[in-house]
Chain A
Amino acid sequence: MVVPAALTEDQIYHRCPPEMLDFDTTEALENVDLPFGQERMLRALEFGAGMRASGFNLFVLGPSGAGKHELVKRFLASHAAGKPVPSDWCHLFNFQQSDKPVAITLPPGEGRVFKSDMSILASELKTAIPATFESEEYQARIQELQEEVTRRQQKGLFAIQEEANANHIAMLTTPAGFTFAPMRNGEVIEPEEYKTFSDEEKELVEAKVEDLQKKLQQAIQQVPRLRKEVRERIHELNEEMVQLTLGGPIGELREKWSHVPAVVAYLDAVREDVVEHAEAFQDNENGAPAGLLNRYRVNLLVDNADTRGAPVVYEDLPNHQHLTGQIEHRAHQGNLYTDFTLIRAGSLHRANGGYLVLDARRILTQPMAWESLKRILFSGEIRIESLERLYGLATTVSQQPEPIPLNVKVVLLGDRTLYYLLSHYDPDFLDLFKVEADFEDDLERDDDSYLLYARMIATMARASGIKALDRAAVARVIEHASRLAGDQKKLTAHDRVLKDLLSEADHWASEAGSARIEACHIQQAIDEREYRASRIRERSLEQIRRGLMMIATTGEQAGQVNGLSVLQIGATRFGQPTRITATARPGKGQVVDIEREAKLGGPIHSKAVMILSRFLANRYAPMGELSLSASLAFEQSYGGVEGDSASVAETCVLLSAIAGVPLKQSLAVTGSMNQHGEVQAVGGVNEKIEGFFNVCQQAGGVNGQGALLPASNIEHLMLNDDVRGVVRDGRFAIYPLTRIDQAIELLTGMEAGEPDADGQFPENSFNRLVAERLAKFAEVGKKKDSEQENGNGGNGDGSDGDR
């Protein structure tokens, strides 16, 4: 097998070709309107924003800081500008059911006009109606009415009185009513004298008295009816007068608003209501009660007079009240009261006919807000319910405004986890948010993208108000963007990280007194940022330097290799070498993963070790028994170990332990391996290599060290300047691996050896040594078995114990 050549400087770093950037500074570059490389998301936005069917709301998913919010805002602003302005909405007093204010819609901008019209009308009513009631005409007519009724009341009584007088019977008033008695010359006859009357006379008198009493009873009992009649007639008169007074102003308004039938109907209701409450306006001392006039006010809930195109509303505190609106209360002398004028619009009202942008995480953390949003989107109308009512805490009578029909597109912004969790656990979610707009994390890095990316940087610089970047600085940013993406063929699309880098570089440029941002300022920003986050990395390096953490970077040693691992703390990642050791002795085909036994290893790591042991069994004892009891450990690792990126290193160290062949400690290894011994890609290669390089450098300088990594990881390499320097000088070598044997050859300096047709490895090859050693193990094992004579050993493939 041919040992792979070490990688060249160009292979481990993809430079930005200067000829691709055809400008002096970013000042010369035009802004980009929409980000490039986000076609999938833009198409989703376009589709979602234009789709009319219900449930096609949008969920824009991407990592935090990716610039979702700004992009959505920019997109919607341009998309909504061409759309019609939605209607105004008003709440009006409901004259039939006072606790259920009605809602009416008006063409945009007319809500204000209507509100002012009604306020003028109310003040007119305040003066015009009392004036009508004070008028001579009204006073005279009311007096006539009252006199007529009095006359009619009295007439009956006087008639009875006269009839009584004519029959010589007195009608007398008592404190509680009337009584009749026979009279002579205006005086009641003494009862004693009456006794002397003849029976006929008495009978006559008594019959007449009884008759008069009956008539009087009838007359008195008619009084309530008469009173009612007069009340009705006064009411009719009031109505007539008010109708005449109102005719003018309300007629004008009816004419003016004839294009809105709801307003016309409301004006008619107002007229009826004023007539009904005409008496309340009569009090010319204080004028009409304010409560009465307030009912003719207009609560302009949504005013779109100043809106251009469809509204785009971002609710930064999406709690229940802010979304659905609320009914406020006014405190007056210790009492809370409310009416339809205290109904306040929510962001759903304001966004009605347009777009409502919300942060998914925020709405989910607000009590009931998410449920309310879903309920409203399902029902297609906004019904204002207070939170305490929803919780059943308040049962006081309150306003129940007429629901307002909803036509809004909700755009939720959130990270991917949230989207997938919601899709999985909330059965309503996919019914309501059918359009997923997924942000691309990384952009393609090809010849076309250089200039676009440069324009994007220019746009960012301009938007953030920072200095222009020169060409070299842009090139450095592009290279760093590749490093951030961890890929030579990609550029990061992470908005926040780039903006922060530019802002920091701007700061360092200002410190240095430079008028523009140069490559050195970008580098300084990168270095400073790394330095600020380097405390733990430094501490780790110090432990290695002081020998607390044992890492050898020179010499050879059997059963010991340098693995590479990556630590992520907060937003920073760094690599460091770890010593992996192995032991091997005869046994029952066991490879003990000490990490797993100590419950420090994760499932992927365990899987990798199992693959490794199957690889061993398959390769070195395909037909026979694998008699091996081996162990693997990450030395001085006290946290957990996870991932399969150490499986190449583990295989090498285990084989070294079996064969007793020493491994070069100057090389560190990363890579995962499959059952056939092929090396597969892993993550974090840049950090790993740089981590090992740092350790080598502090252990007495770099000279002949290197790292082994999967060949498929080459395009992920974007190594820093220091590493590139030693690679250029040939002091540090990076070897790409495709098969495990390449690693063995590089680490041992021996030929690995390919098996011949019989499965035999060539003499003096590494694999031959391994196979022979395993055969010896098997022999020892058999001997032991026969000594014990327990007869149930000899399981051919050791499938039970091969772990």
Chain B
Amino acid sequence: MAATEIAESKSTAKAAGRVLILLDGSRLSLAALEAAAEIAAARKAEVLGIFVEEVNLLRSAGYGFAREVGGSSGLARPLDVAALEARMHSLAQQVRRSLEQAMARRGLVQALKLCRGRVADEVLSLVGPEDLVVMGRVGWSGIPGARLGSTARILVRQAPGDVLLWVEPRPRRQERVVVLLNHDQGANHRAVKVGAELARRHHQPLTVLVRMAAGKGQPITEDLMAYLRHEGITARVKLLPMASAVAVARAMREEGMAQLVISRQCSLFGEQGAEALLAAMDVPVTVTP
């Protein structure tokens, strides 16, 4: 099975398994770059950096009355196109250097795509179903305590492939990969697979949490255990009642979660608290289609 697994992963890598990394020069995006490089090195995947010059921003700088209000100081400064473009240009240079350095260290093939437009649109036009998009959970955000940026919101819902929302993980005593599933969802398989891969790569134990209405747990638990045993992964499966997002967040914290894998089709996404849940988790989150 291990052999086929490798073969499979090779084939996916060959097909389209690129790692796309969204770079905007923010601190978090540079941290995400390191994570992306790690993943790419493990998958032997190509890396494509994407740097988008936000067209709305450039346009807004064209107005004579445009002012930039400082995110921390609250002071208003004049904003003009030339200055903004120069700033964008220098950011792009910086991003290119960082990308080259990160990938060269690992001997990976990389390219940087510079484009101008709306970030989410540009990314969606580049990403394929087998690609992994890596991005900082927030970009340049002046809003204090913001947990989920606008681009991340769009990509989590619309990307055809997996999306990794990166945050700097804090060291914990216990580190587990947690996969959150709905018992009745079809995309479970992909989420569990991603979870298993993460667990293997980081040498961390795996927990699969299954949200379900009471009394239906047994078969799915056995199926999951069988699959994971087959994959050679030590894991535990826990059943969760259909509780609120906050309750789920607590359950996950109790597991000593270091990384989370969640399917977009998980019923939690349909609920009010989905974004609150993601916001509450200060761990890297992979969202699978």
Where the two chains meet, the residues of A that have a C-beta atom closer than 8 Å to any C-beta of B are 149-150, 153-154, 157, 170, 172-183, 187-191, 194, 206, 209-210, 213, 216-221, 223, 285
Q: In the bound complex, how far is the Cα of B60 from the Cα of A183, in angstroms?
A: 9
Task: Determine the chain B residues whose CB is within 8 A of the CB of A219 once the complex forms.
Answer: 74
Q: Which of B143-162 contact A (CB under 8 A)?
A: 143-146
Near A by CB (< 8 A), chain B positions 198-228 give: none
B266 to chain A, nearest CB (A): 22
Q: Which of A157, A180, A220 contacts B60 (CB 8 A)?
A: A180
A508 → B minimal CB distance (Å) = 83
Contact A217 B74 (CB under 8 A): yes
Contact between B60 and A173 (Cβ–Cβ < 8 Å)? no
Choose from A176, A180, A209, A210 the contact partner of B71 (Cβ within 8 Å): A176
Is B73 an interface residue when CB atoms closer than 8 A count as contact? Answer: yes
A376 to chain B, nearest CB (A): 55
CB pair B59–A210 under 8 Å, yes or no, is: no
A174 to B140 CA separation, bound complex (whole angstroms): 7
Given contacts A206-B65, A209-B65, contact A188 B71 (CB under 8 A): no
Q: Return chain A residues, CB-CB under 8 Å to B26.
A: 175
Residue from A175, A183, A223 with most neighbouring chain B CB atoms (10 Å): A175
Residue of B nearest to A146 (CB): B145
Q: Known: A188-B56, A221-B74. Is A177-B143 also a contact (CB below 8 A)?
A: no
Cα(A179)–Cα(B87), bound, Å: 15
Across-interface contacts of B55 in A (CB, < 8 A):
187-188
State A183–B57 Cα separation when bound (angstroms). 11
Known: A176-B142, A180-B66, A216-B69. 16 other contacts (CB 8 A): A149-B145, A153-B143, A154-B143, A172-B56, A174-B68, A174-B142, A175-B91, A176-B70, A178-B142, A179-B61, A179-B79, A213-B76, A217-B69, A217-B75, A220-B70, A223-B72
Cβ-defined contact, B76 with A217, below 8 A: yes
A172 touches B69 (CB 8 A): no
The minimal Cβ–Cβ distance linking B94 to chain A, given in whole angstroms, is 11
Partner of B67, one of A154, A213, A218: A213
- B234 part of interface (Cβ distance < 8 Å): no
Which 4 residue pairs across A and B have the least CB separation, nearest first?
A: A181-B60, A191-B62, A220-B74, A150-B145
Q: A170-B56, A175-B26 are in contact. Are A181 and B143 (CB under 8 A)?
A: no
A173-B59 contact given A153-B144, A154-B145, A220-B69, CB 8 Å threshold: no
Contact A176 B68 (CB under 8 A): yes
Contact of B59 among A178, A181, A216, A218 (CB under 8 A): A181
In the assembled complex, the Cα of A217 lies from the Cα of B144 at a distance in Å of 14
CB of A182 to closest CB in B, whole Å: 8
- Given A217-B76, A220-B74, residue A154 in contact with residue B56 (CB < 8 A): no
A172-B54, A174-B57, A175-B91 given as contacts; is B63 within 8 A of A220 (CB)?
A: no
Does B139 reach chain A (CB closer than 8 Å)?
yes
In whole Å, how far is B256's beta carbon from the nearest beta carbon of chain A? 13
Query: Chain B's nearest CB lies how many Å from the CB of A229?
Result: 13
A210 contacts B57, C-beta separation under 8 Å: no
Residues of B within 8 A of A182 (CB): 63
**B149 (CB) vs chain A CBs: closest residue:** A173
Partner of A177 from B25, B56, B142, B173 at Cβ < 8 Å: B142
Question: From residue B253, how far is it (CB to closest CB) to chain A in Å?
Answer: 9
- Interface presence of B141 (CB below 8 A): yes
Tell me, in angstroms, the Cα distance from A175 to B89 when the chains sit together.
13
Task: Please state if B65 and A178 are interface contacts (CB–CB under 8 Å).
Answer: no
Report which residue of A150, A172, A223 has the largest number of chain B beta carbons within 10 angstroms of its beta carbon.
Answer: A172
Interface centre among A154, A174, A194 (most CB of B within 10 A): A174
- Residue of B whose beta carbon sits closest to that of A221: B74
A157 to chain B: which residues have CB within 8 Å?
Answer: 143
> Complex Cα distance A187/B66, Å?
16
Q: Is the CB of B69 within 8 A of A179?
A: yes
Size range of the chain B interface in the assembly: 35 or more
Check if B63 sits within 8 Å of A213, measured CB to CB.
Answer: no
Q: Which residues of B have CB within 8 Å of A175?
A: 24-26, 87, 91, 140
A210 contacts which of B65, B84, B143 (Cβ < 8 Å)? B65
Q: Which residue of A lies closest to B87 (CB)?
A: A175
- Please give, as numbers and ranges, the residues of chain A lying within 8 Å of B141 by CB-CB distance: 173
Expressed in whole angstroms, the Cα–Cα distance for A220 and B73 within the complex equals: 7
Question: In the bound complex, what is the Cα–Cα distance between A218 and B66 (angstroms)?
Answer: 18
A180 CB contacts on chain B under 8 angstroms: 60, 66-67
B116 to chain A, nearest CB (A): 13
Q: Are B139 and A173 in contact (CB under 8 A)?
A: yes
CB proximity to A under 8 Å, residues B22-70: 24-26, 54-57, 59-63, 65-70
Contacting residues, chain B, for A187 (C-beta < 8 A): 55-56, 118
Q: List 29 A-B contacts (CB under 8 A).
A: A153-B144, A153-B145, A154-B145, A172-B57, A173-B141, A173-B143, A174-B57, A174-B68, A174-B142, A175-B87, A175-B91, A176-B68, A176-B70, A176-B142, A178-B71, A178-B142, A179-B57, A179-B68, A180-B67, A181-B59, A187-B118, A188-B59, A191-B63, A209-B67, A216-B69, A217-B74, A221-B74, A223-B144, A285-B173
Question: Would A177 and B69 count as touching, CB distance under 8 A?
Answer: yes
Most chain B CB neighbours (cut-off 10 Å) among A157, A179, A194: A179
Closest to A190 in B: B59
A216 pairs with B74, CB closer than 8 A: yes
- Please give, as numbers and ranges, the residues of chain B lying within 8 Å of A174 by CB-CB distance: 57, 68, 79, 84, 140, 142
Give the complex CA separation of A120 and B118 in angstroms.
64
Are B69 and A170 in touch, CB under 8 angstroms?
no
Within 8 A of A (CB), among B217-264: none
Find out whether the CB atom of B60 lies under 8 angstroms from the CB atom of A179.
Answer: yes
Residues of B within 8 A of A170 (CB): 56, 60
- Name the A residues within 8 Å of B24 (CB-CB): 175
CA distance A216 to B72 in the complex (A): 11
How long is the Cα–Cα vector from A191 to B80 in the complex, in angstroms?
12
Q: Do A213 and B69 touch (CB < 8 A)?
A: yes
The B59-117 residues at the A interface (CB cut-off 8 A) are: 59-63, 65-76, 79, 84, 87, 91
Q: Which residues from B are CB-within-8-Å of A221?
A: 74
Indicate if the CB atoms of A179 and B66 lie closer than 8 Å.
Answer: yes
Query: Bound complex: CA of A285 vs CA of B172, how far in Å?
Result: 10
Q: How far, in angstroms, from A181 to B62 measured CA to CA in the complex? A: 9
When chains A and B are docked, how far (Å) is the Cα of A183 from the Cα of B56?
Answer: 9
Contacts of A154 in B (CB 8 A): 143-146
Shortest distance from the beta carbon of A284 to any chain B beta carbon, whole Å: 9
Per-residue contact bits, chain B 123-148, to A (CB 8 Å; 1 contact, 0 not)? 00000000000000001111111100
- Are A178 and B68 in contact (CB-based, < 8 A)? yes
Q: Closest Cβ of chain B: how far from A512's Cβ, in Å? A: 85
CA of A220 to CA of B142 in the docked complex: distance in angstroms? Answer: 9
* CB atoms of A177 and B59 under 8 A apart: no
Task: Name the distance in Å between B174's Cβ and chain A's nearest Cβ.
Answer: 12
Q: Is the CB of B140 within 8 A of A173?
A: yes
Q: Which residue of A lies closest to B25 (CB)?
A: A175
The residue of chain B having its C-beta at the shortest distance from the C-beta of A222 within the complex is: B74
CA distance A221 to B142 in the complex (A): 12
CA distance A180 to B91 in the complex (A): 22
Cα A513 to Cα B57 in complex, Å, equals 120
Report Cα–Cα, A154/B276, bound state, in Å: 13
Residues of A within 8 A of B61 (CB): 179
- Contact residues in B for A190 (Cβ distance below 8 Å): 59, 62
Chain A residues contacting B143 (CB-CB under 8 Å) are 153-154, 157, 173
Instruction: Name the residue of chain A whose CB is nearest to the CB of B67.
Output: A213
Note all chain B residues with C-beta closer than 8 A to A217: 69, 74-76
Chain A: CB-nearest residue to B61: A179
Complex Cα distance, B81 from A174, in Å, reads 13
Q: In the bound complex, what is the Cα–Cα distance between A158 and B256 (angstroms)?
A: 33
For A188, list chain B residues within 8 Å (CB): 55-57, 59-60
